[in-house]
């Protein structure tokens, strides 16, 4: 992965927030959308941008798209993601995002009702595929 691609991805606050959230584990689009308080289309566009540049991976789980950081990271990507985690630790917007995520987190248990039915019950289940 070229360093320029990494820095292009890191120059947007929404993408930084998404990457910071994904550092904690796999997430459905609906959870990212809910934490960020942004429209689904905006979140999906940023996720597509990150995916096209190899910064995130995606897989379908039933009706939902679940995103994660790539399993195999280049040295440059791993170093920059570690730096991001270090830099965002004390920033209020990122701390707030992580707090909201804890409230929404659900299990990805295949036998459960689906990832868009968080244990806290705060997010609505739409039954529609998030793209």
Q: What is the pLDDT of residue 61?
A: 87
CATH architecture, domain defined by 3-104: Orthogonal Bundle (1.10)
Torsion of Cα atoms, 89 then 95 then 101 then 107, to 10°: 30
pTM of the predicted model, to two decimals?
A: 0.79
Q: What is the pLDDT of residue 64?
A: 85
Which stretches of the chain are assigned E, i.e. beta strand?
Answer: 27-28, 57-61, 64-68
Sketch the domain layout of the chain as residue ranges. Answer: 3-104
pLDDT > 90: what percent of the chain?
59
Q: What is the pLDDT of residue 117?
A: 47
**pLDDT under 50 in the chain at which residues?**
107-113, 117-131
> Which of 65, 107, 85, 74 shows the shortest CA–CA distance to 21?
85
Q: What is the pLDDT of residue 62?
A: 86
């Amino acid at each position: 992965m070229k360093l320029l691609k990494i820095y292009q991805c890191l120059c947007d606050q929404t993408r930084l927030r998404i990457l910071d959230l994904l550092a904690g584990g796999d997430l459905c689009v609906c959870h990212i959308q809910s934490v960020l308080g942004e429209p689904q289309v905006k979140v999906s566009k940023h996720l597509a941008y990150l995916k096209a540049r190899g910064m995130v991976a995606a897989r379908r789980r039933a009706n939902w798209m679940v995103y994660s950081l790539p399993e195999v990271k280049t040295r440059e990507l791993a170093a920059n993601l570690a730096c991001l985690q270090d830099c965002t630790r004390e920033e209020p917007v990122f701390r707030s995002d992580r707090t909201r995520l804890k409230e929404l987190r659900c299990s990805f248990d295949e036998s459960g009702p689906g990832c868009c039915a968080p244990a806290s019950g705060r997010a609505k289940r739409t039954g529609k595929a998030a793209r």
